[in-house]
Amino acid sequence: EDQVTQSPEALRLQEGESSSLNCSYTVSGLRGLFWYRQDPGKGPEFLFTLYSAGEEKEKERLKATLTKKESFLHITAPKPEDSATYLCAVQAASGSARQLTFGSGTQLTVLP
Amino acid sequence: GAVVSQHPSWVICKSGTSVKIECRSLDFQATTMFWYRQFPKQSLMLMATSNEGSKATYEQGVEKDKFLINHASLTLSTLTVTSAHPEDSSFYICSVLRESYEQYFGPGTRLTVT
């Protein structure tokens, strides 16, 4: 069974204080690992897709990396508007399934 | 990316009534859409996979007679919650599957059953 574990559950940072969010996963063959941002009362917003170990992607203050067992979302010099819940999800390569298995998320609060 | 809309954004209904939620793919013809529900402080739980022109595939534990899904066109999928009860109150979110296997989500629908 595919599993995704995110840590920490919650993270409070001062504006400008860089940090990383962790996503550990077990999956029977990885098709893709996805990062989303979710604001309260809204649907998840797509951030990144990573397909293979060693891959990295960047968008503004965010950088996602992938190894064979985990992914990190690095946040450099965060701003209050980066406050949100960040969700990690995996998609297995086996069979025709295209569903995502989500982690429970990391709630990030950036204080001004 | 993809642009996905949902209607309504929130709805309040009385126990025993049915509610229909629409999910539209505005810029992409989607063969496959997904329906999720999310309880407060929890992550997304997949309810069903909606395939255009065929029956939806439901996840274990999801009552197909209670949560009716119709994917009548490549841009529209609907979720009908039949005989709703207070325990059905939740945040319902749809997503569109693109050819890159990426899923793009709608803004969600808040259902409250009184």
Of the partner residues A31, A45, A105, the one whose CB lies closest to the CB of residue B101: A31
- For chain A, list residues whose CB is within 8 angstroms of any CB belonging to chain B: 31-32, 34, 36, 41-46, 49, 87, 91, 98-100, 102-105
Percent share of chain A, pLDDT over 90? 86
Residue A29 pLDDT level (bands cut at 50, 70, 90): confident
Name which of A38-42, B50-54, B79-83 the model is least confident about: B50-54
> CB A45 to CB B110 under 8 A?
no
**Chain A closest CA to B42's CA: distance in Å?**
6
Q: What is the mean pLDDT of residues A47-66?
A: 96
**How far apart are alpha carbons A15 and B30 in whole angstroms?**
40
pLDDT tens readout for residues B78-97: 999 999 999 999 999 999 99
Cβ distance of B101 and A43 shorter than 8 Å: no
Please report which confidence band the pLDDT of residue A22 belongs to, taking 50, 70 and 90 as the band edges. Answer: very high
Task: Output phi, psi for B57, to 5 deg.
Answer: -105, 120
Q: Determine the average pLDDT of the residues in A4-16.
A: 97
Residue of B101, B102, B105 with shortest CB distance to A43: B105
Mean pLDDT of A1-30: 95
Give the lowest-confidence range in A88-102, B11-25, B30-44, B66-80: A88-102
Cα–Cα dist B75/B24, whole Å? 5
Range with the poorest average pLDDT among A54-58, B18-22, B101-105: B101-105
CB B35 within 8 A of CB B69: yes
The pLDDT mean for chain B works out to 93
- pLDDT tier for residue A95 given thresholds of 50, 70 and 90: low
pLDDT for A64: 98
If you search the block for the tokens 């950036």, which residue do you land on?
A110
Q: Are A43 and A85 in contact (CB under 8 A)?
A: no
The span from the CA of A69 to the CA of A54, in Å, is 11
Q: CB distance A43–B32 less than 8 Å?
A: no
Confidence band, pLDDT 50/70/90 cuts, at residue A94: confident
Q: Mean of the pLDDT values across residues A18-34? A: 94
CA distance A101 to B81: 24
> Given this model, what pLDDT does residue B64 score?
93
B108/A49 CB distance under 8 A:
no
Comparing C-alpha atoms, which of A99, A95, A31, A34 is closest to residue B47?
A99
Q: Between chains, do B43 and A105 touch, taking CB under 8 Å as contact? A: yes
> Mutation test of the interface with chain A: which of B92, B103, B111, choosing the one with the most A Cβ atoms within 10 A?
B103
Contact B43 A91 (CB under 8 A): no
d(CA B70, CA B81): 12
* pLDDT range class, residue B19, cuts 50, 70, 90: very high
